[in-house]
């Protein structure tokens, strides 16, 4: 029997999703307070908030596939018979898997290319930022495969 749900992975991704969200909110609040209440304003807050948002979207996309929380237009699907609708949903999942796996594969060499670049304010290796593309591609593909396997059960 194929296991299509990994609660430990869900918790790990959920932890990093929440961490990214809380950190982004804290950094934006710090920037707002610094602009109005302090004589100086840190220049790294905008960059960190942007990086947190990128990872928030990358990790959240995978969990949205698991929870079926993504936006979909059902006008076409609702007009199909239940059997045809199920086949079309499976076809859409196959397309998502192909697209996201392609993103994963092509983001790996891109990470290698940008290893010498540093972010302007935080001086972080930009491979860390481009890694969000690989993370998104891998985990969205993985969760789409899980959803596809559920359809075939």
Which is nearest to 141 in space by CA: 72, 81, 61, 71?
61
pLDDT of residue 1: 45
pLDDT of residue 2: 52
pLDDT of residue 41: 83
> What residue ranges do the domains of the chain occupy?
7-152
Given its phi and psi angles, is residue 4 left (phi above 0), alpha (psi -120 to 50 degrees) or beta? alpha
The residue ranges of the chain whose pLDDT is under 70 are 1-5
pLDDT of residue 3: 59
Record the pTM. 0.89
pLDDT of residue 38: 85
């Amino acid at each position: 029997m194929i296991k299509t749900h990994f609660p430990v992975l869900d918790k790990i991704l959920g932890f990093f999703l929440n961490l990214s969200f809380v950190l982004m909110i804290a950094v934006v609040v710090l920037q707002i307070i610094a602009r109005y209440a302090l004589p100086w304003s840190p220049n790294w807050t905008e960059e960190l908030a942007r990086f947190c948002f990128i990872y928030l979207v990358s990790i959240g996309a995978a969990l949205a596939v698991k929870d079926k929380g993504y936006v979909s237009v059902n006008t076409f699907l609702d007009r199909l018979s239940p059997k045809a609708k199920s086949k079309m949903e499976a076809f859409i999942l196959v397309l998502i898997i192909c697209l996201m796996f392609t993103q994963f594969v092509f983001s790996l060499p891109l990470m290698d290319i940008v290893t010498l670049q540093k972010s302007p304010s935080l001086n972080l290796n930009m491979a860390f930022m481009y890694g969000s593309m690989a993370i998104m591609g891998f985990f969205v593909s993985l969760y789409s495969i899980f959803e596809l396997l559920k359809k075939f059960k």
